[in-house]
């Protein structure tokens, strides 16, 4: 049998654990990123100008600076200030802050395309600012943002691989170990590529199905 | 006592005064139409009356209460004023029925079943019941405006405001909507309507208020204002809108 296959079989439990960690991180940051994105998006719409400016600054900061720098800052930088966080905690916080900023931007872009007379109608009916947000604005911008949000989920899945640089033992970290141990670089990275491609394909299939299930007349994206 | 009494209402945007001391009354069961050239302040006045725009000074007495005073319950005021917009403003992620029931459930706190029954009754009144499960994108302009009227009426408001309800419609759809509003007029629904449409104004009004440059110039019944006014601004305006039709 091919020595690489032997290695895969031998390392199978670690690979499986790594895969579980990758998927767990992806699911957590996708959910927290959408929740965070909705919160940041809400803050973009509040009446308080100062709060709106700070929110825009937050979005610009996280979109304008590399994710890896944030992860390194928290994992390697914070201990110098006496704050020690596990690799998993850093990954979840770092990704959430980053993904929330991107998601807020997608939602804001969708919001800019909304017919604002609906919002005036909601206020005229007596809905409060928050009711208008969650009953009128959010259901529409979420629908309009589905392609961008699902692309972000795919991006999240791929980006989890950088977490191995802060000692998070995900799938890619396990493949890296196999490659480095027995020098099967090409086969190991090729296998990793195929596994990521399979996972992304599953996410795409689920996303397209979801898009179809929530499609409404007038919301063709 | 009038349902709405407006006293010396002024609205300025920066230094520009759009409303320059408006005085007007609207009584229960009465229907008034507000006409005037574009930019004369008609829509601003309508939006000030339900506090979508905050007036700069003056008083609006609604059902005996000054709603311009600080601390007024804006939600309660708006709940009692139905508003129909020029471009329909239906919530496009909701069906016609959901558009009507949303306010009933969330603002009037009606149970879903009760809200649906109320919506069905109101939709029937304007011939929209069969379209209740359609989304706004599946309706014609006239149907959208009829749905928007039902959404406002279902809340049982004390008064219905209509802001240019026919100006985004072609003549055939416009007739459809005029027929519906005329029916409301005959049912003595209290209405305050802004329009350029002389045909609509004639069929839905007890009196017409003419505005120019932020002030009320005249108020009279349609025929007298259309054909007998000696004010050159009024003559000029009605000559153009009536000829246009």
Say how far apart CA A214 and CA A217 lie, in whole Å.
10
Q: How confident is the model at residue B230 (pLDDT cuts 50, 70, 90)?
A: confident
According to DSSP, residue A74 is labeled I
What is the average pLDDT across B20-47? 94
Which of A5-14, A141-150, B80-89 has the least mean pLDDT? A5-14
Q: Name every chain B residue with its beta carbon within 8 A of the beta carbon of A128.
A: 75
Q: Do the Cβ atoms of B52 and A127 come within 8 Å?
A: no
B126 contacts B180 by C-beta, under 8 angstroms: yes
Q: ipTM value of the model?
A: 0.90
The answer to whether residue B137 scores a pLDDT higher than 70 is: yes
Report the relative pairing of strands B159-163 and B191-194 from DSSP bridges: parallel
Q: Do the Cβ atoms of A115 and B92 come within 8 Å?
A: yes
DSSP letters, A165-176, are GGT---HHHHHH
Tokens matching residue A122: 């909601």
What is the average pLDDT across B178-190? 93
pTM, to two decimals = 0.88
The answer to whether residue B189 scores a pLDDT higher than 90 is: yes
Domains of chain A (ranges; CATH) run 3-214 (1.10.3720.10)
Say how far apart CA A33 and CA B31 lie, in whole Å.
52
Q: How confident is the model at residue A221 (pLDDT cuts 50, 70, 90)?
A: low
Domains of chain B (ranges; CATH) run 1-80+159-245 (3.40.50.300), 87-156 (no CATH)
What is the average pLDDT across B2-13? 94
Say how far apart CA A212 and CA A143 lie, in whole Å.
11
> How remote is the C-alpha of A63 from its chain's centroid?
13
The answer to whether residue B24 scores a pLDDT higher than 90 is: yes
What is the average pLDDT across A107-126? 95
Say how far apart CA B70 and CA B51 lie, in whole Å.
12
**Residues forming beta bridges with residue B188, ordered by sequence position:** none
Of B232 and B93, which is predicted with more confidence? B93
Specify the pLDDT at position B245: 45
Say how far apart CA A216 and CA A143 lie, in whole Å.
9
Say how far apart CA B39 and CA A161 lie, in whole Å.
59
B146 contacts B167 by C-beta, under 8 angstroms: no
**Would an 8 Å CB–CB cutoff place A76 in contact with chain B?**
no
Q: At what angle do helices A12-44 and A49-64 cross, to 10 degrees?
A: 150
The predicted-structure confidence for A55-79, as pLDDT tens digits, reads as follows: 999 999 999 999 999 999 999 999 9
Q: Which of A115, A131, A216 is the closest to B135 by Cβ?
A: A216
Q: Do the Cβ atoms of B92 and A136 come within 8 Å?
A: no
The predicted-structure confidence for A165-208, as pLDDT tens digits, reads as follows: 999 989 998 888 888 888 888 888 988 999 999 999 999 999 88
> Distance from A143 to chain B by nearest Cα, in Å?
9
Select from A122, A125, A146 the residue whose CB has the most chain B CBs within 10 Å, as the one to mutate to test that interface.
A125
Q: Which of A121, A122, A216 is the closest to B93 by Cβ?
A: A216
Say how far apart CA A91 and CA A197 lie, in whole Å.
22
For A203, other C-beta atoms within 10 Å of its C-beta total: 18
Say how far apart CA B91 and CA A136 lie, in whole Å.
7
Contact residues for B204 (Cβ-Cβ < 8 A; gap 6+): B31, B33, B178, B181, B182, B184, B185, B191, B193
Which of A7-16, A204-213, B215-224 has the least mean pLDDT? A7-16
Q: Name every chain B residue with its beta carbon within 8 A of the beta carbon of A125.
A: 78-79, 83, 103, 107, 151-152, 155
Specify the pLDDT at position B77: 93
Half-sphere exposure of B10 (CA within 13 A, CB side): 11
Q: Which percentage of chain B shows pLDDT scores above 90?
A: 78
The answer to whether residue A4 scores a pLDDT higher than 80 is: no
* Inter-CA distances, A2 with A7, A183, A187, B28, B39, Å: 9, 14, 11, 91, 82
Specify the pLDDT at position B243: 56
The answer to whether residue B244 scores a pLDDT higher than 90 is: no
Specify the pLDDT at position A102: 97
Of A178 and B141, which is predicted with more confidence? B141
Tokens matching residue B107: 């603002």
Say how far apart CA A39 and CA B244 lie, in whole Å.
51
Q: How confident is the model at residue A211 (pLDDT cuts 50, 70, 90)?
A: confident
């Amino acid at each position: 049998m091919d020595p690489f296959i032997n290695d895969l079989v031998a390392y199978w439990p670690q690979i499986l654990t790594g895969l579980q960690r990758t998927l767990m991180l992806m699911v957590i940051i996708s959910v927290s990123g959408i929740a965070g994105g909705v919160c940041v998006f809400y803050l973009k719409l509040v009446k308080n100008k100062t709060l709106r400016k700070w929110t825009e600054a937050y979005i610009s900061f996280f979109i304008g600076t590399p994710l890896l720098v944030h992860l390194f800052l928290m994992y390697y930088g914070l201990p110098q200030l006496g704050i020690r966080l596990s690799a998993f905690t850093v990954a979840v916080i770092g990704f959430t802050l980053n993904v929330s900023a991107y998601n807020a931007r997608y939602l804001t872009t969708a919001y800019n395309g909304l017919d604002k007379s609906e919002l005036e109608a909601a206020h005229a009916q007596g809905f409060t600012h928050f009711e208008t947000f969650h009953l009128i604005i959010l259901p529409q911008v979420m629908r309009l943002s589905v392609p961008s949000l699902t692309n972000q989920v795919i991006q999240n899945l791929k980006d989890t691989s950088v977490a191995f640089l802060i000692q998070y033992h995900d799938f890619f970290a396990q493949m890296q170990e196999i490659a480095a141990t027995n020098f099967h670089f090409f086969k190991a990275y090729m296998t990793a590529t195929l596994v990521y491609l399979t996972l992304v394909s599953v996410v795409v299939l689920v996303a397209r199905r979801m898009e179809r299930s929530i499609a409404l007349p007038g919301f063709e994206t | 006592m009038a349902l709405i009494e407006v006293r010396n209402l002024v609205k300025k945007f920066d230094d520009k005064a759009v409303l320059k001391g408006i005085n007007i009354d609207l009584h229960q069961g009465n229907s008034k139409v507000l006409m005037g050239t574009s930019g004369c302040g008609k829509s601003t006045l309508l939006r000030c009356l339900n506090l979508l725009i905050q007036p700069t000074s003056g008083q609006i007495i609604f059902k005996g209460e000054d709603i311009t005073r600080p601390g007024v319950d804006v939600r309660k005021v708006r709940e009692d004023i139905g508003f129909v917009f020029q471009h329909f403003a239906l919530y496009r992620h909701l069906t016609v029925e959901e558009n009507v029931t949303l306010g009933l459930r969330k603002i009037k706190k009606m149970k879903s079943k009760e809200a649906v029954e109320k919506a069905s009754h109101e939709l029937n009144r304007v011939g929209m019941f069969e379209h209740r499960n359609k989304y706004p994108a599946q309706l014609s302009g006239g149907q959208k405006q009829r749905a928007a009227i039902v959404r406002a009426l279902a809340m049982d408001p004390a008064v219905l405001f209509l802001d240019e309800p026919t100006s985004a419609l072609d003549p055939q759809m416009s007739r459809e909507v005029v027929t519906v509003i005329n029916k409301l007029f005959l049912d003595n629904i209290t209405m305050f309507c802004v329009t350029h449409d002389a045909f609509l104004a004639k069929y839905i009004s007890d009196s017409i208020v003419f505005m120019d440059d932020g002030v009320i110039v005249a108020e009279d019944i349609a025929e007298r204002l259309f054909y007998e006014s000696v004010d050159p601004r009024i003559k000029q305006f009605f000559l153009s809108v009536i000829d246009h039709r």
